[in-house]
Structure 1
Amino acid sequence: MSRETPRGAAPNTGSRARDHLANERTYLAWLRTGISMAALGVAVAKFSPDRGLHALVSGAILICAGLLVSAYGTARYRSVGRQLDGGVYAPARFGTVTATTLISLLALIAVAILA
């Protein structure tokens, strides 16, 4: 029984597989956070006691913030994957801090609108 190499597979030298799997877990965490934030936006817009314009705007802001989190996570996943394939890695200091700051500000604005 011979083993066929899957298409696009690369040799697992050193920590290559472990690094790619860690990148994938991080990506899934970004997606989980984005989906949770978008779901919170839907809940705010749908189930707010007054369900007025303020609730809709707050919900829309939270949904957009969730989509931004997911988009950043996807871009970062692809970037890190290319870096790992190239044998290099550059930590994302500016991007992560910027994304976190922007998302936090959007969430605070959404809460302020509801108050």
Structure 2
Amino acid sequence: MQAEKERVATIDSKYIQQHLANERTYLAWIRTAIAITGIGFLIINLHIKSSFHTLPNAAVQWIGILSVLAGVSTIIFSTVSYFQKAKQINEQTFRTSRPLILFLSTLMFAVVAMFGLYFFAVLL
């Protein structure tokens, strides 16, 4: 019958598990980006509403800017990495993302260090 469509295997279907794992990893990066950006907005709002802040407004603005930059960078780099990995999976030439991980880890370390300094200064 013509109602039954003929199934055609694609290159992607050969490596279904790897592609699904790639998608899960991408979605984890997106959730991380949303959390990073949200924390930046939260810290700015807490600083603005508190009357006992000791850090200058510029420092808090830098925390917010760096958080948004980290979130946007995470989205951009994880999207590029997702498509590169999909291609590498099909070509069986997978390579790890060391530069991406190093860049995002450095950016996140800077954000977390600034958060730590902010909270340390507020508690004193």
Tell me, yes or no, whether TM beats 0.5: yes
Q: Which residue of 2 aligns with 1:37?
A: 36
Seen in structure 2, the aligned counterparts of structure 1 residues 5 and 110 have a Cα distance that, compared at 3 Å, is farther
- Deviation string for 1:48-100 (max 9, x for gaps)? 22583332222222111111222221121111011112222111233313321
TM-score normalised by L of structure 2:
0.73
Q: Which residue of 66, 71, 74 corresponds with 1:66?
A: 71
Seen in structure 2, the aligned counterparts of structure 1 residues 94 and 64 have a Cα distance that, compared at 3 Å, is closer
In the alignment, the residues of structure 1 paired with residue 113 and residue 6 of structure 2 have an alpha-carbon distance, to the nearest angstrom, of: 52
Question: Conserved in 1, the CA contact under 8 Å of 2:70 and 2:104?
Answer: no
Question: Conserved in 2, the CA contact under 8 Å of 1:41 and 1:58?
Answer: yes
Percent same amino acid at aligned positions?
24
Please, which runs of 5 or more residues in structure 1 have no aligned partner? none
Please, which runs of 5 or more residues in structure 2 have no aligned partner? none
Q: Which residue of 2 aligns with 1:2?
A: 4
Aligned pairs for 1:1-115 within 5 A: 1-3=3-5, 10-11=10-11, 12-13=13-14, 16-48=15-47, 49-50=50-51, 52-112=57-117, 115=121
In the alignment, the residues of structure 1 paired with residue 91 and residue 118 of structure 2 have an alpha-carbon distance, to the nearest angstrom, of: 46
Count of matched residue positions in the alignment of Structure 1 and Structure 2:
111
Letter in 1 for 2:85: V
After TM superposition, the runs of 4+ consecutive aligned structure 1 residues lying more than 6 A away are: none
In the alignment, the residues of structure 2 paired with residue 22 and residue 82 of structure 1 have an alpha-carbon distance, to the nearest angstrom, of: 14
In the alignment, the residues of structure 2 paired with residue 99 and residue 58 of structure 1 have an alpha-carbon distance, to the nearest angstrom, of: 16
TM-score normalised by L of structure 1:
0.78
